Structure 1
Amino acid sequence: MATLVLGAIGTLVGGPLGGAIGATLGHGLDSMIIGSPRREGPRLKELAVSTSSYGRPIPALYGKVRAPGTIIWATDLKEQRERSGGGKGKPKTTTYSYSISLAVALSSRPIDRIGRIWADGNLLRGRGGDLKTGGTLRTYTGHGDQRPDPLMAADVGPQCPAHRGCAYVVFEDLALEDFGNRIPALSFEVFAGTAAHMVREIAGRHGMESRQAAFPALEGFVHEGGTPAAVLTLVDRLRPLAAISRGGQVRLDGIAAPEGEIPTLPPAIAWEGGDFGQEDGTALARSSPAGSRLTALRYYDPSRDYQPGLQRAGGTEPGAASQVLEFPGSLSASHAQSLLVQAASREQQRGETLSWRMSEIDPELGPGSIVRAPGLSGLWQISGWEWREGGVELELIRHVLPNGANRTADAGTAWAPRDRLAVGTSLRVFELPWDGSGASGSIQRFAAVGAPTGRWSGAALYELAGNALVPLTESGPVRAVSGSLVVSLGASPSLRFEGSASIRVALEDREAELEPATPNAIARGDNRLLVGSEIVQFAQAQPVGDGVWELTGLLRGRGGTEIEALAGHMPGTLVTLLDDRLVELPAPLALGEGSELAAIGSADPDPVVAPLENGGRTRRPLFPVQPRVHATPEGGLILSWTRRARGGWSWLDEVEQPLVEQAEAYEVGLGDPDKPQRLWATPAPHLHLAPAEIAVLSSLHPGQSLWVRQKGSFALSAPLHLTPIPASS
């Protein structure tokens, strides 16, 4: 803090030179007040990433760790081109994507398997073993029977090594579009046996036995360099070890509570000369409290995705030099805190040393032995001996019994990327009534491309032409909001806003959300929902839970879908939100009844096929409304109705709907609309049937229905019932 303050003041007063002087003075003041902690041990890496530096050591991994790896082989970038567009006045575009194949060495000793993989901090491979992008992964565990990778062998040739004893992975055609078309920064979760017995393994490789040297709290360890002695010395700071000499053999044991009877040193003797104890043969000393004390421990925390954690030990004396131990092992926060407190306590108590002279050495009292000293309390451990002319001088340190009490500690919070499993694509294809935008002859066909909750990056759309797939477009990663009815939706005459009516829908993506809308927003066309073939608008949206939503305040039968509203809908009916997340299909696409489209996403083993719903709906006129029948005094009938127009979603008072078709024309029919008994054509929204004609119809077709439908430029509307033919009297 003083460094920052004095540096800023110095800059204001004396410019850059004054700032440098102020920063120097501040640093000295900080050192006197706060102290500069001394670091010991290999520096922990803050989320280290893969490199390919020459001479970089490949670490030996134990247990469960996160390692960056070293790139040992790679191909050139592979370029792929794909052309799209060119329809509906749009220019053709060419997109480029790149992939690469590479091998990354992970460990200089065999491993069991690979877990998660991070690329640029995001998950490239999840816990389930799924790659989040395109490519293939092969893992080589480093055992003696390992064979060369076939892709590397094809590139390198017969001299391609098998890398026995070295664990590595090979990415084949790793897609790079998610990483800016470059090789991302990689790091790997590695499982390599158990780290609890690392000391025994290291000792065994050097011909030493070991007992009680297990380190249960150690979940993983990264040995990136240095001698085995340096590694064991580092472990000894947290898990005490001792080299025990017995019968000329050296054994590496863990220091634990002594079992059985503890031997007592023989009485000390004095002799002339030497550095201590000329009178009684003993010397007791204690280190200065001003020495450096272990106050903090940095380690890799598995609960934080192996990011470095920091635990501190309390009780540091003011002004005392502090020491931070960098320990490249995986520990839980509670274990790290407990080990730190115990290590700090040991170092404090082990500051007491004892020198002891004996006439001769007892073979059972070698270095590492736990003994008692006559006249002194507590236990002592022999750290060394030296032969003298008059006898043997022992060096002992105070032995601290291990404290098995565990302490609770907080690992802290850390950001972690979500591990989402890849999910398959859902597809719904439909044609909608014309909404008044664009040319009246245009066709508004859309694909609702989405997916359930999970990882999904979009899909490619194709037209099914026989057994062939004709590319159309890409959906992009934005999902359409789709689902299904949970309960049935009853029939509605679609005459007015139904404020108390509601529907309950289950969205396939449980993380999707629906928003409420004001009356003005609904009038502008917001919150349109395609339920089956009916378009419904809703005012309120309330989540129920697990992707289920309650939608209240309904406007039914929108866009001329009153017939579908009168039929109602059963549970399970498909529901799709009509918004800008839909994919508009190219206009020249010749789709009709029976046409099918397909979608293929990264997690789809087979194309997802969906038929076109409501084919021809955009250019089909809306059926007339408000039927009226007037009987003339002579016995004739005057039939009339009100015309509607495509795109006229709103009813405007005292304003006639514009004529969208090329000409106004209607046909009035009798009987079944598919097989009418009689047809009349009229260019106006009315028709006069003479008395004689009514008489003939009454005798030949009594009870048959008269109906009318509009003749549009491209299709006929649905029929509107006018009146039944009266029976002849």
Structure 2
Amino acid sequence: MATLVLTVVGGAVGGPIGAALGATLGRAVDGSLWGAKGRQGPRLTELAVQTSSYATQIPRVFGTMRVAGSVIWATELVETRSSDSASKGQASVTRYSYSANFAVLLSGRPIQGVRRIWADGKLLRGAAGDWKAQTGFRLHLGDEAQQPDPLIAAVEGPGLAPAHRGCAYAVFEGLQLADFGNRIPSLTFEVDADPEPVTAGAVIQELSGGRIGAGEGALPLVGYSAQGDSVRAAVETLLTPAGYWIGEDGVRADAGRATTIGDLAARLDGAKPGRGVRTIAASDKAPAEVTIGYYEAARDYQTGVQRAVRSGATGRGVRIELPAVIAPEHARGLAARAVDALDLARETRRVCLDWSHVAIAPGDRVQIEGEAGQWRVQGWTLEHMVLTLDLKRIVGAAIPARAASGGRGTLAPDTLHGPTRLMAFELPPIEERTTEVAQVAVLASGMLPGWRRAALLVSEDAGQSWAPLGSTAAPAVLGTLVTVPEAAPATVEDRRSILEVDFPHDEMALAGASGAALDLGANLAMVGDELLQFAEAVQVAPRRWRLRRLWRGRRGTEAVIGSQRVGDGFALIRPDALRTLEPRRSGNGARLRLRAIGIDDGAEGVSAEVAVTGKWRLPPSPVHLRGNALAEGALQLEWVRRSRSGWQWRDGVEVPLGEDAEAYAVRVLRADGSATAIDCSVPRLTLPPERASGACRIEVRQIGTHGLSAPAVLTLC
């Protein structure tokens, strides 16, 4: 300290008077070193927003602290385009996705690591080190052997990328921005800067480069981010609430070894009136309560408040902001200590000493001979060889531990992402319109609750080339059959079958639905190859659900009723979780390969393959086929057509045709193996005796725009 050095020099040159002058000059030098009034230091605010401005201060992080950081390098956003092929009469859909490469400066001193990372307030990286979005990540701890980041060096060129030695920073490579409005999100980092807990004294000792000793500044800290326009500004807001201040030889506390002095006003010639005066301010001059604002680690480093009240007092309150992370019990203890300190501070003393006590300086602790307690030197004057000290009563430095609760916070959920589960199948017509091309449904979910989505790729040439399709839709409800339903007609509600499904985690849940809701399409699920609906859903065990009151064979899938096997897939059809694709080819062995690459899926991801038959572009089979015998052996056939664009029941009207023209192919099979084919354009046909003779089986198919339906069968023998 300059004060100490110049005091020694002054004493050597001019004796006691020179020492006094040297001390005064030294204090002036100290004032310039530590900064004048009006200095700016850390402030207690809500979590700061990430910046990228020039001349932004670089904080020095101690302990464990949540910091926003500053973007120090970035490239342009990387755009990826994907298109969905268009169906007949509809425009194609082109999707754009973006990713970003950038670096964020975290601390002006080396750190140990980074724990959690938040993006726009949501967890981007969990406590287990798992990522909630796709990104590459490298952390540079800030040691002196630190090398330039390889991505920055590749973009900027050899020799143009700084290593930022002594500063810790993080580099994100290819961060997917779909979850953040296609922009770089505001990031905050839980920085672990020191291997052991830190104290206020240790922080100020390092910040001052050892010029200020740790002294008695033993306030335990969880974390602190030091910044300001001077060293004093960086630490003063940290020390003052704890009862510490910067004295002539380091951090001082409100108790400890003190210089004993006597009040010599009565013995000094020329002492001015008023010296040796004791003053106590009115009780209402001290605050009735003190609140301490601080950062609370258990609430994701949000601002917390603890309060202490002076017994029997009324009136104003004082708020003290401590821009550090501390435990709630320490914050409440500080508040209780501050109440006592502000109450004692009402008492002041002015004492006069001879010039031999000139070494006592502002900030020193003194004890008046014959009186209990200690005092802090607030003011110092030397006039006519009389040293006058203005003293303020101080309280002990011990911080009482008070039981406290930081309250309950709304924390960002931290769940593991887990691997992806992918299901794909050719989609039956679930809407009231015809489709002119085959459609493939893609649904994806995770094996753990934290899964969000995965990148999706498609190949139509047996995996020789892959085209990006953006990302999957919202997480779907996908399970596995553990019991299968019985065969049952599609014309009535199946109240006999019981269907049980296992799901990978408890976040997947089902709910029942009324008959009216089912009629509007609720609880539609692909179970094996059958599309069905369920009215009742009951959880019977962890991750297991039992479904009853089934509506079977929906949307023309009645032909596969009862074909399910244990282990087949279950997929709840929801618009938000469904991604549909329209392959360029169908039939003739056409197959579609899909690959989903999530955060925990590795480079290859998970795959699914679908045979694209195009069968759902065909009309459903006719129903209610019946025959009436006529005179002389003739046979009258009648049936009811069905439509792939008319699934809803409408009283009093015929279902829409849904095809270019109405036509049917009738085939008469006989016991001798012969067959007769007849075409007609109405849903009825009269077979003359010669064609009806010997008929054993009759098949009726509707001729659609893209082919024949499955047959309706009438067995005669």
What is the Cα deviation at residue 256 of structure 1?
6.7
Is contact 1:355–1:394 with CA below 8 Å preserved after alignment?
Answer: yes
Q: Distance in 1 between matches of 2:389 and 2:713?
A: 113
Deviates more, 1:477-486 or 1:413-422: 413-422
Is contact 1:100–1:174 with CA below 8 Å preserved after alignment?
Answer: yes
The aligned runs of 1:248-267 (5 Å cut-off) are 250=249, 252=251
Q: Which residue of 1 aligns with 2:581?
A: 585
**Secondary structure, aligned partner of 2:127:** coil
2:373 counterpart of 1:379: yes
The aligned runs of 1:305-454 (5 Å cut-off) are 305-315=300-310, 322-353=317-348, 375-376=370-371, 378-380=372-374, 383=377, 398=393, 400-401=395-396, 405-412=400-407, 415-432=410-427, 437-439=432-434, 443-452=438-447, 453-454=449-450
Counterpart pick for 2:554 among 553, 558, 564: 558
Q: Which residue of 2 aligns with 1:609?
A: 607
Is contact 2:364–2:376 with CA below 8 Å preserved after alignment?
Answer: yes
Q: Distance in 1 between matches of 2:298 and 2:435?
A: 60
The amino acid of 2:239's aligned partner reads D
Q: Which residue of 2 aligns with 1:32?
A: none
What is the Cα deviation at residue 224 of structure 1?
0.9
What is the Cα deviation at residue 190 of structure 1?
1.6
**Secondary structure, aligned partner of 2:47:** coil
The aligned runs of 1:486-505 (5 Å cut-off) are 486-494=482-490, 496-499=492-495, 502-505=498-501
Counterpart pick for 1:532 among 528, 533, 537: 528
Q: 1:584 to 1:665 in 2, by over 3 A?
A: farther
Q: Deviations over 1:69-127 (max 9, x none)?
A: 23333334444544554553433555554444333322111111123333333334333
What is the Cα deviation at residue 462 of structure 1?
0.9
**Secondary structure, aligned partner of 1:678:** coil
The amino acid of 2:228's aligned partner reads G
What is the Cα deviation at residue 168 of structure 1?
1.8
Q: Which residue of 2 aligns with 1:12?
A: none
Q: Distance in 2 between matches of 1:627 and 1:80?
A: 54
Counterpart pick for 1:215 among 216, 219, 223: 219
Q: Distance in 2 between matches of 1:507 and 1:540?
A: 17
Q: Which residue of 2 aligns with 1:13?
A: none
Is contact 1:427–1:448 with CA below 8 Å preserved after alignment?
Answer: yes
Q: Deviations over 1:312-344 (max 9, x none)?
A: 432499886654322210124343222122122
Q: Which residue of 1 aligns with 2:204?
A: 202
Q: 1:595 to 1:220 in 2, by over 3 A?
A: same
The amino acid of 1:306's aligned partner reads Y
- The percentage of aligned residue pairs carrying the same residue is 30
Q: Which residue of 2 aligns with 1:15?
A: none
Is contact 1:42–1:326 with CA below 8 Å preserved after alignment?
Answer: no
The aligned runs of 1:48-87 (5 Å cut-off) are 48-87=48-87
Is contact 2:136–2:173 with CA below 8 Å preserved after alignment?
Answer: yes
Q: Distance in 2 between matches of 1:428 and 1:550?
A: 21
**Secondary structure, aligned partner of 1:336:** helix
What is the Cα deviation at residue 221 of structure 1?
0.9
**Secondary structure, aligned partner of 1:446:** strand
Q: Deviations over 1:107-151 (max 9, x none)?
A: 111111123333333334333444544543322221111122233
Q: Which residue of 2 aligns with 1:47?
A: 47
The aligned runs of 1:476-515 (5 Å cut-off) are 476-494=472-490, 496-499=492-495, 502-507=498-503, 510-512=506-508, 514-515=510-511
Is contact 2:538–2:547 with CA below 8 Å preserved after alignment?
Answer: yes
Q: Which residue of 2 aligns with 1:172?
A: 173
**Secondary structure, aligned partner of 1:273:** coil
Q: Distance in 1 between matches of 2:407 and 2:171?
A: 34
- For structure 1, the residue ranges without an aligned partner over 5 or more in a row are 1-37, 671-676, 698-705, 725-729
Is contact 1:295–1:323 with CA below 8 Å preserved after alignment?
Answer: yes
The aligned runs of 1:234-245 (5 Å cut-off) are 234-241=237-244
Q: Deviations over 1:564-589 (max 9, x none)?
A: 4345x444331223453433331643
Q: Distance in 2 between matches of 1:418 and 1:646?
A: 47
Q: Distance in 2 between matches of 1:526 and 1:722?
A: 36
What is the Cα deviation at residue 465 of structure 1?
1.5
What is the Cα deviation at residue 178 of structure 1?
4.1
Q: Which residue of 2 aligns with 1:136?
A: 136
Is contact 1:368–1:381 with CA below 8 Å preserved after alignment?
Answer: no
Is contact 1:221–1:330 with CA below 8 Å preserved after alignment?
Answer: yes
What is the Cα deviation at residue 220 of structure 1?
0.8
Q: Distance in 1 between matches of 2:362 and 2:86?
A: 85
Is contact 1:643–1:685 with CA below 8 Å preserved after alignment?
Answer: no
Supply the RMSD in Å over aligned alpha carbons: 5.1
Counterpart pick for 2:616 among 615, 618, 622: 618
Q: Distance in 1 between matches of 2:183 and 2:431?
A: 46
Q: Deviations over 1:290-321 (max 9, x none)?
A: 55647332222223332333334324998866
Q: Which residue of 2 aligns with 1:463?
A: 459
**Secondary structure, aligned partner of 1:411:** coil
Q: Distance in 2 between matches of 1:185 and 1:525?
A: 41
Q: 1:371 to 1:134 in 2, by over 3 A?
A: same
Is contact 1:371–1:379 with CA below 8 Å preserved after alignment?
Answer: no
What is the Cα deviation at residue 59 of structure 1?
1.3
Q: Which residue of 2 aligns with 1:187?
A: 188
Q: Deviations over 1:426-448 (max 9, x none)?
A: 33232355569444876454333
Q: Distance in 2 between matches of 1:658 and 1:80?
A: 42
Q: 1:722 to 1:275 in 2, by over 3 A?
A: farther
Aligned length, in residue pairs = 658
What is the Cα deviation at residue 356 of structure 1?
6.7
Is contact 2:456–2:471 with CA below 8 Å preserved after alignment?
Answer: yes
The amino acid of 1:448's aligned partner reads L
**Secondary structure, aligned partner of 1:665:** strand
What is the Cα deviation at residue 520 of structure 1?
3.9
Q: 1:562 to 1:147 in 2, by over 3 A?
A: closer
Is contact 1:600–1:608 with CA below 8 Å preserved after alignment?
Answer: yes
Deviates more, 1:119-128 or 1:506-515: 506-515
Return the TM-score normalized by structure 1. 0.73
What is the Cα deviation at residue 687 of structure 1?
8.3
Is contact 1:428–1:449 with CA below 8 Å preserved after alignment?
Answer: yes
Q: Distance in 1 between matches of 2:265 and 2:638?
A: 128
- For structure 2, the residue ranges without an aligned partner over 5 or more in a row are 1-37, 679-683
Q: Distance in 1 between matches of 2:225 and 2:125?
A: 22
Return the TM-score normalized by structure 2. 0.74
The amino acid of 1:272's aligned partner reads L
The aligned runs of 1:667-706 (5 Å cut-off) are 668=669, 678-681=673-676, 683=678
Is contact 2:443–2:473 with CA below 8 Å preserved after alignment?
Answer: no
Is contact 1:486–1:506 with CA below 8 Å preserved after alignment?
Answer: yes
The amino acid of 1:668's aligned partner reads L
Q: Distance in 1 between matches of 2:198 and 2:439?
A: 66
**Secondary structure, aligned partner of 2:240:** helix
The amino acid of 1:471's aligned partner reads A
**Secondary structure, aligned partner of 1:337:** helix
Counterpart pick for 2:710 among 688, 694, 717: 717
Deviates more, 1:616-625 or 1:125-134: 616-625
Counterpart pick for 1:597 among 593, 600, 622: 593
Is contact 1:77–1:100 with CA below 8 Å preserved after alignment?
Answer: yes
Is contact 1:639–1:687 with CA below 8 Å preserved after alignment?
Answer: yes
**Secondary structure, aligned partner of 1:48:** coil
Q: 1:658 to 1:361 in 2, by over 3 A?
A: closer
**Secondary structure, aligned partner of 1:145:** coil
Deviates more, 1:573-582 or 1:637-646: 637-646
